[in-house]
């Protein structure tokens, strides 16, 4: 049996909305210290990893470690009913997840757990470029590129990183120098260029709308993109396979 309560419904709703744009199901591992979630699309073009420390919850009770899968699209339908001021309680027992929204009335939902399948592959990558940038700035530049582009090309030199899209003669670009005030850390070990699908990145950014900083890792054209946000009680990490350039 596992039971927890959370009092940040807007964060939960945005997290599930973003994840559901990327994947259909997710695996959950719950132990005495944290919840770990992993999910990937069927082709493993992207992978998302989430950890929430027990300190994130007002109540966190567990009898023994458990592993299960959930239908994320079902969770999205439920979480769309969340509003500011709601309190959430979750109970996992007897092959079901019970999701209750507490406010003026108590709204109860029950969904079946899915059979736990094979574990997803762990991704080990060596990134020649690392950037820690204000999340708001990165989100805005991605949305600007997406106005006219469907893919994102990132080119890194020792002094700057250029984010751009160029399709059928139409181009948009944004240059971030290493001295930009929005950057907390900047490291380029080797000049590189990579290309990625913008729609996946836009979906991921829905899950980190309240983050202060985003850490960006990438390398040359065969290296995945890794985006990560973390604080003292949680972490969300996203991997995206590169496109041919």
Q: What is the band of 223 on the pLDDT scale with cuts at 50, 70, 90?
A: very high
pTM: 0.93
User: Domain extents for the chain?
Assistant: 2-112, 129-240
CB count in 10 Å sphere of residue 171: 12
Coil vs helix vs strand at 195: strand
For residues 109 and 78, the answer to whether their CB atoms sit within 8 Å is: yes
The predicted-structure confidence for 78-95, as pLDDT tens digits, reads as follows 999 999 899 999 999 999
User: Hey, what's the torsion of the CAs at 79, 214, 152, 127, to 10 degrees?
Assistant: -120
Nearest of 244, 181, 240 to residue 216 by alpha carbon: 240
- CA atoms of 8 and 86, how far apart (whole Å): 8
Sheet with 170-177, strands from edge to edge, namely 170-177, 160-167, 151-156, 192-197
Architecture of domain 129-240: Box (3.70)
pLDDT class for 116, splitting at 50, 70, 90? Answer: confident
- Tokens at residue 182, please? 């929005």
CA 149 – CA 198 distance, rounded (Å): 8
Predicted pLDDT of residue 120: 83
Residue 205 tokens read as: 């950014």
Say how far apart CA 143 and CA 50 lie, in whole Å.
23
* pLDDT for the residue 28: 94
Which tokens go with 23? 């994947």
**HSE (CB half, 13 Å, CA atoms) of 225?**
23
Domain 2-112 CATH class label: alpha beta
């Amino acid at each position: 049996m596992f039971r927890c309560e959370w009092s940040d419904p807007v964060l939960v709703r945005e997290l599930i909305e973003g994840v559901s744009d990327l994947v259909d199901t997710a695996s959950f591992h719950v132990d005495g210290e944290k919840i770990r979630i992993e999910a990937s699309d069927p082709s493993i073009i992207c992978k998302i990893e989430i950890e929430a420390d027990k300190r994130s919850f007002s109540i966190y009770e567990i009898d023994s470690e458990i592993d299960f899968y959930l239908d994320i699209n079902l969770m999205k339908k439920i979480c769309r009913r969340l509003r500011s001021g709601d309190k959430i309680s979750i109970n996992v027992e007897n092959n079901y997840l019970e999701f209750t929204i507490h406010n003026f009335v108590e709204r109860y939902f029950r969904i079946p757990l899915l059979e736990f399948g094979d574990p997803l592959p762990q991704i080990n990558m060596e990134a020649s470029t690392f950037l820690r940038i204000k999340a708001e700035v990165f989100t805005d530049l991605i949305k600007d590129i997406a106005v006219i582009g469907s893919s994102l090309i990132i080119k890194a030199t020792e002094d700057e990183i250029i984010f751009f899209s160029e399709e059928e003669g139409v181009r948009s670009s944004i240059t971030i120098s290493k001295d930009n005030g929005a950057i907390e850390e900047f490291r380029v070990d080797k000049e590189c260029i990579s290309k990625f699908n913008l729609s996946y990145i836009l979906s991921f950014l829905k899950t980190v709308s309240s983050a202060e900083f985003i850490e960006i890792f990438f390398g040359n054209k065969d290296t995945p993109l890794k985006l990560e946000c973390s604080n003292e009680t949680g972490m969300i990490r996203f991997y995206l396979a590169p496109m041919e350039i």
